[in-house]
Amino acid sequence: MRTIVWDVDDVLNDLMRAWFESVWKPAHPESRLGYEDIADNPPYRSLGIAKAEYLASLDAFRLSETARRMAPNAAVVEWLRGYGGKYRHVALTARPLDAAPAAAEWVFRNFGEYFRCFGVVPSRPSPGTTLYDRDKGDFLGWLGSADFFIDDNAETLGAALKPRLRTLLYPQPWNRAVHTVGDVLRTLTEAAVAN
C-alpha cells in the first residue's frame, strides 16, 4: 500500500487564513491586505511587521481554542472519503514542540479514520532540544517508505527530494502554484486507481 505524507498547517487545515482573519485583520482594521495578497510565508514582510512579532502571534494562535476548532480542509476530507483507504497517511508538521500536541490532537480528531502516524520536526528548537531531523526532508529520509509528500512550501519540497518520492505543491497565495487543489488530488486519485 502506498503512503502519503501530508503537511498539516495550510494543507490539512487553513491555519494561516484562520490566523489572518481572526487575529491579524481584527487587530489591523486599517490594513487593506487580503489573504490572497500574502506573498511570503512567513508573511511578516507582507504584513510589515518583525518576524518575531509574527511568530509570537501565530504560536499563541496555534494554542488557542479558535485553532482547536478549525475546520479540516473540506477538499481533502472529501477526497479521503473516496480514496483514503487506498493509501496509508502520515501527518508531518514543522512547529515548536509545545504546539505539537495541539496539532496531533487536531489531526487525529479530524482525520483519525485515515491517519495513524504523526511526525514533528521542531521549528525554532530550544537549546538542549534533541534534534533527530533538521527538516522535513531528513524526517522523510528516516521514514523511508513514503510515495507522495504534499506541502505548501516549495523549499520544503525541494529539500525532500528522495528516490521514488513524488512531491506535490499544495496551492497557497505565497507559493504561486500554477495548478489547483483539484489537480493535486487528481494526481493522488489517478495513482490510487492505477494501483
Which grid coordinates belong to 143?
Answer: 521514514
Element (H, E) at 55: helix 51-62
Element (H, E) at 167: strand 166-169
Just give the CATH number of 2-14+72-194: 3.40.50.1000
Instruction: Please state, for a pLDDT cut of 70, what percent of the chain lies above it.
Output: 99
Element (H, E) at 57: helix 51-62
The string of pLDDT tens digits covering residues 60-75 is 999 999 999 999 999 9
pTM over 0.85: yes
The string of pLDDT tens digits covering residues 130-173 is 889 999 999 999 998 899 999 999 999 988 877 789 999 999 99
The string of pLDDT tens digits covering residues 1-51 is 999 999 999 999 999 999 999 999 999 999 999 999 999 999 999 999 999
Cα–Cα distances (Å) from 81 to 87, 173, 189, in that order, read 12, 27, 12
Rg of the chain in Å (alpha carbons): 17
d(CA 38, CA 58): 15
Beta sheet of 115-122, edge-to-edge order = 115-122, 87-95, 2-7, 148-151, 166-169
DSSP state of 166: E
Contact 37, 173 (CB under 8 A): yes
